[in-house]
Homo-oligomer: A and B are copies of this chain.
Amino acid sequence: MTLPKRVDDQAELSHESVREAEEIFNSHLKRVGLKHTAQRDAILRTFLVTRDHLSTEELHHLVKRRDEGIGFTTVYRTLKLLAECGLASEVAFHDGVTRYEHQYNRRSHHHMVCTECGSSVEFFSPEIEKIEKEIGRKHRYVTTRHTFQIYGVCDQCQTKKPKRRK
């Protein structure tokens, strides 16, 4: 129900897309005087072929499949870099973990999260984009991004018994 996903549009991002993302990343690195390393490359590539919202932990896990030796810290720091150059963005469901998703080729989608089971649905809502711009203009902000999440109880969980007070 919550993982409509990724039949094949996602499993393999086109080579040009990957190339382009690497381009963006590399020039960002250059711009701020950082180095291009094998680890950063591996992390970016791993990240690009994911979907949904990964915690640093989860991405680290995936990255290790590609290269056993890469440490958590490096993934952590690289994710920050990716966020800086716009390839990744943080999504915070309210569960104490910071997640990232890749922003590359993905526009204006948002999440609705079930507060019972934690599953989530993606939806698109272009109006939100307009609202961001409009509010920004009104208050003289240069807006860079926004977050929009809906919380509720999914169809499945509605039929289960409610819980109370852990």
Contacts and interface: CB of A to CB of B under 8 A. Distances in A.
Given A135-B125, A149-B147, A152-B136, A112 B141 contact: yes
Contact of A151 (B145, B154, B155): B145
A144 interface: yes
Interface string A113-150: 01100000101010110011001101111111111111
Interface residues of A, number: 40
B165 A153 contact: no
Contacts of A123: 135, 138-139
A38 interface: no
B142 A150 contact: no
Given A94-B90, A145-B151, A112 B127 contact: no
A94 B83 CA distance: 13
A152 B136 CA distance: 8
A32 interface: yes
Interface of A: 1-2, 32, 90, 92, 94, 98, 112, 114-115, 121, 123, 125, 127-128, 131-132, 135-136, 138-155, 158, 164-165
15 contacts: A90-B94, A112-B135, A112-B136, A112-B139, A123-B138, A125-B135, A128-B128, A136-B150, A141-B155, A142-B152, A142-B158, A143-B152, A145-B152, A146-B148, A147-B151
